[in-house]
Structure 1
Amino acid sequence: MSVKPLVIVGSLNADLVVQTERFPRAGETLHGSPLRILPGGKSSNQAAAAARLGGEVRLVGAVGDDDNGRMLVAAARESGVDTRGVALRSDSVTGTAVITVDAQGENTIVISAGANGTLSAADVEANRVSFDGASVLGLCLEVGIDAVLAAARAGREAGLTVLTNLSPYAAVPDDLLLATDVVLLNEHEAAQLLGVDLDAVEWSDVGAAIARLGVPHAVITTGSAGCVVLSGDDSPVTVPSPRVGAVDTTGCGDAFMGALALRLAEGDALVAAATFAVRVGSFAATRHGAQSSYPTPAELETFSA
């Protein structure tokens, strides 16, 4: 069976990364490691993760006409991503993410949209060719909602499976949820979407509540525990994560998303795709950086053995 391409529409960021022993308190200054500037952005990360695992990936987004923008496009191409849908903006700087990583591998991230904020519905329309012959569309919320909604509608019209990562969390139009086949959230985002304390409800109730919003399937990531797959009234399926020594969790959620999209494009059922994605996300936690931590199939096979 031939595997159809997948399309990722969204963000590309230059990650400005500093490691430190612990996170600073309010008003405190700490010493950190030398600054590293690395390719990132949720959508760029997701595309790179899927491409490194062997997927045919088309990326639609925008960067500034500057060194960071050129670095991001070059890195995506090196990972095997088709970047013909990435616009170069002469009137905008490339988006950035300021990232601090502590000694336990946890991170804090502040993003500045830059060119990501210029991605529009018109850009999506201009790149309709990217949807031709594809099977899965991946979305996130690091670009404007008009572009996200236009992409979801275009994907639905083209018959693609629409996978929407509601991160960084924001309230979204009902139309986006209705155009989404699978929603990907972490526990905090799921609580915000539903307005409930997840500790006070059963996973089956969470799945039913998400289905009432018009989304038939959901995957809730639960950090180092793995994830939970929810499909309406079906019984929840818990997918455990392998135990690893985490050194940097930056971009692990994006690795999960990219792997999930890839396996859905390959025809896997959702639970099987999520099981694969958990392994990829866990692998990414064992290396520094975002895209630099993503495995090839051979590396993942060794890790899983």
Structure 2
Amino acid sequence: MTAAKRVLVLGGTNFDIIVQAEKFPEEHEKVRGNECAALPGGSAANTALGLARQGCEVRLVSAVGDDALGRLCLDDLRAGGVDTGSIRVDTATRTSMAIVISSGTGKRMMTFPGADREPAYRAVTEADVRNVDHVHVVGEPTSALGRVVGLARRVGRSVSVEWNGRDMRTLAQGPGLNLMNADEAGHLPDARSGDAAATARWYAQQLAGDVILTLGADGALWAGPSGAVVHEPTMAVEPVDRTGGGDAFNAGVIAGRLLGEPPSACLRRGLDAALHVITKIGAHP
């Protein structure tokens, strides 16, 4: 039996309040919601849980507050098979939160910062990195996060970076997976207007790494540094809530890559994982 791939994930853990409605409210308008859920979330936490569901051994480096919401987040991660030993419990502040209004086809989000993750990142050692096969990072490209990425590259561990609307080039130079959606890619400094494939190809060549874009109903594409682009379609569904869909996709792609699957199969794995998430409210399948 092949040993499970080991992944170190660094990034945010927060508590989500998600409201599903037919449309977004206008100024002074009251809109009746269809469903409401309050549950643990955060891009890194969601991806860690997704990787665990994909059969990986996952350790999450993050932070929560010393409060009831933080304890709910930790319990949820442990129940999902994620090692929480590197999650810092910050006694000085609250757990980060997010409020999401989801219309199915789109969403609006407000985030509320809480526990500081930087000390948890700084506590990661070279031995921690050597003990895994892959490092996945989400969040602002700080020096603490960059140090861990540098360690991973130095000891020969593969790396993936979730761009999440940020310019992550300071962390993403060199071989690795760069994960983003087409809307985010379209706002990058060197985006090719209206051409997601050309944008992905240009960044893949500049970074000397792979760029993976989700395209909504059009599936996803994978651009390699050689200039080759692979497109994978997806099944048409009526989305209920897109929260966590990208995180589930990322987990599927990373797991496929660690198993040695070709880009088309990695994209298919990621798209299938996302479909399980976006057809319900909340990021858990």
Q: TM-score normalized by structure 1?
A: 0.85
> 1:17-54 deviations in whole A, cap 9, x for unaligned?
12223111133333335753201000000001111232
Instruction: Report 1:216-227 matches (<5 A).
Output: 216-227=209-220
Q: 1:171 maps to what in 2?
A: 167
Amino acid at match of 2:111: I
* Aligned-partner SS, 1:85: strand
Matched, 1:154 2:155: no
Once residues 23 and 235 of structure 1 are traced to their aligned partners in structure 2, the CA distance between those partners, rounded to angstroms, is 39
Q: Which segment drifts farther, 67-76 or 186-195?
A: 186-195
Q: 1:296 maps to what in 2?
A: none
Structure 1 residues 228 and 194, CA, compared in 2 at 3 Å: closer, same or farther? farther
CA RMSD, Structure 1 to Structure 2 (Å): 2.1
Once residues 89 and 125 of structure 1 are traced to their aligned partners in structure 2, the CA distance between those partners, rounded to angstroms, is 15
Deviation for aligned residue 1:223: 0.8
Amino acid at match of 2:131: G
Q: 2:82 maps to what in 1?
A: 81
Indicate if the aligned counterparts of 1:119 and 1:147 stay in contact, CA closer than 8 A: no
Amino acid at match of 1:186: N
Q: TM-score normalized by structure 2?
A: 0.91
Structure 1 residues 202 and 60, CA, compared in 2 at 3 Å: closer, same or farther? closer
Once residues 269 and 150 of structure 1 are traced to their aligned partners in structure 2, the CA distance between those partners, rounded to angstroms, is 29
Q: Which runs of 5+ in 1 are unaligned?
A: 294-305
Structure 1 residues 113 and 29, CA, compared in 2 at 3 Å: closer, same or farther? same
Indicate if the aligned counterparts of 1:9 and 1:151 stay in contact, CA closer than 8 A: no
Count matched residues: 283
Amino acid at match of 1:231: G
Deviation for aligned residue 1:211: 3.1
Structure 1 residues 106 and 193, CA, compared in 2 at 3 Å: closer, same or farther? closer
Indicate if the aligned counterparts of 1:3 and 1:265 stay in contact, CA closer than 8 A: no
Structure 1 residues 21 and 145, CA, compared in 2 at 3 Å: closer, same or farther? same
Taking only the aligned residue pairs, the percentage that are identical comes to: 25
Q: Which runs of 5+ in 2 are unaligned?
A: none
Q: 1:187 maps to what in 2?
A: 182
Indicate if the aligned counterparts of 2:191 and 2:199 stay in contact, CA closer than 8 A: no
* Aligned-partner SS, 1:87: strand
The match for 2:204 among 205, 211, 229 is 211
Whichever structure has more helix as a proportion of its residues is 1
